[in-house]
Amino acid sequence: MAPLGSNFARTIAYSRDPQQIAHHVPPRTFIVAEAGVNHNGSTERAMAMVRAAATAGADAVKFQSFRTELEVTRTAPKADYQARNTGDAGSQFAMLKALELSEPDQRALMDACAAAGIEFMSTPFDPVSAAFLIGAPAVKRLKVASGELTNGPLLLQLARSGKPIVLSTGMADLDDVRAALAVLAFGYASPPDKKPSPAAFENALASPAGRTALRANVTLLHCTSDYPAPPNSINLRAMDTLAETFGLAVGLSDHSLGIAVAIAAVARGAAMIEKHFTIDRALPGPDHAASLTTAELAEMVAAIRTVELAFGDGRKLPAAAERPTRVVARKSLVALAPIRAGEAFSTANLGAKRPGHGVTPMLYWSYLGRPSPRAYAADDLIDPFD
């Protein structure tokens, strides 16, 4: 594999041009309310989560699509966080089997999303579920979970669909991300009959067509795969590294508690925020403990939209809202004591006081020693010289 300092990284590196940054207005952050498996296998609860996400103002609500038999072996252990959050160190198989949503259930959720005015998203974990989502007109984009980042066959299947992909990068280093992008570039840019191979993936990644396809279709999500993720494990600066290295839109799949980290990520330029939420944090299940309540989800969305309003366009100019304050808060040259006509301005009789609609005190030294053209009473604003 070529090093990260390869031609690919240099060609599509994120721009640090100060002029572009100064006058760039960041786009609206795409907010994904991650329902995941917090419905606990209940279609009714999943429907309620659709309505809650829409009410909160999220752009999309995301579920998980899987057939347990195709995703895990019957003896696969739970992740540490799953065992910790469920209080059970049993198998993943038993846990996930109880959390499946059938294809008819998912179609019903797609219809519910359309009625609520929110985008339906889901993460596939096996080729059958991927094919189902690929074939669903309601699915506008596909999400790749962090655990599937190294699942080359699934990545290729998703890219060959032509649909945009959101790629989570939890547990990954830059080489892992680069290898996944190589497969995606091949899937997007190569003809269907071209044989996959590591060399073909690398060639696609280095090709103009592959780079263009990635720019047009792929969003990278920085992620820490722990639930909940402690703040000192988040490493928001890794978003910058991903953007600089791969030149793609970057966001955050946030597993920390609360909303502070997600808001900080938006302030750092995140194009997308994905955040777990739940109807009831006290419910049993692997992800509830690290999820927002519906009220917190609405608070996060509102805070993100406020941050976006605060971005501005980067030009340093007086804001319209502060222009009236400028007259009140700034100062003008004034007479500190009565000044006779013809008397020289001096440090004893000339100073600066509010309001600020007179001569700027920046001209103070230009007045010193010059004769006053007229008489002034104390606190009179000084006239400008012709």
What average pLDDT does this structure show over 350-361? 98
What average pLDDT does this structure show over 93-100? 84
Instruction: Tell whether the model's pLDDT for residue 2 goes beyond 60.
Output: no
- Per-residue pLDDT of 130-169, as tens digits, reads 999 999 999 999 999 999 999 999 999 999 999 999 999 9
With beta carbons less than 8 A apart as the criterion, state whether 252 and 276 touch: no
Residues ≥6 apart with Cβ < 8 Å to 320: none
- Per-residue pLDDT of 259-297, as tens digits, reads 999 999 999 999 999 999 999 998 988 889 889 999 999
With beta carbons less than 8 A apart as the criterion, state whether 49 and 106 touch: no
Instruction: Tell whether the model's pLDDT for residue 186 goes beyond 70.
Output: yes
Helices (H), the chain: 7-11, 18-22, 43-56, 68-71, 80-86, 92-97, 103-116, 127-134, 152-160, 174-189, 198-206, 208-217, 237-246, 260-267, 294-311, 323-329, 364-367
Q: Model confidence at 15, in pLDDT bands (50, 70, 90)? A: very low
With beta carbons less than 8 A apart as the criterion, state whether 48 and 137 touch: no
Instruction: Tell whether the model's pLDDT for residue 13 goes beyond 90.
Output: no
Instruction: Quote the CA–CA distance of 185 and 199 in Å, as a whole number.
Output: 12
Instruction: Tell whether the model's pLDDT for residue 20 goes beyond 70.
Output: no
Sign for the pseudo-dihedral over CA of 35, 39, 43, 45: negative
The region of weakest confidence among 175-184, 215-224, 280-289, 354-363 is 280-289
Residue (of 156, 93, 160, 102) closest to 129 by Cα position:
102
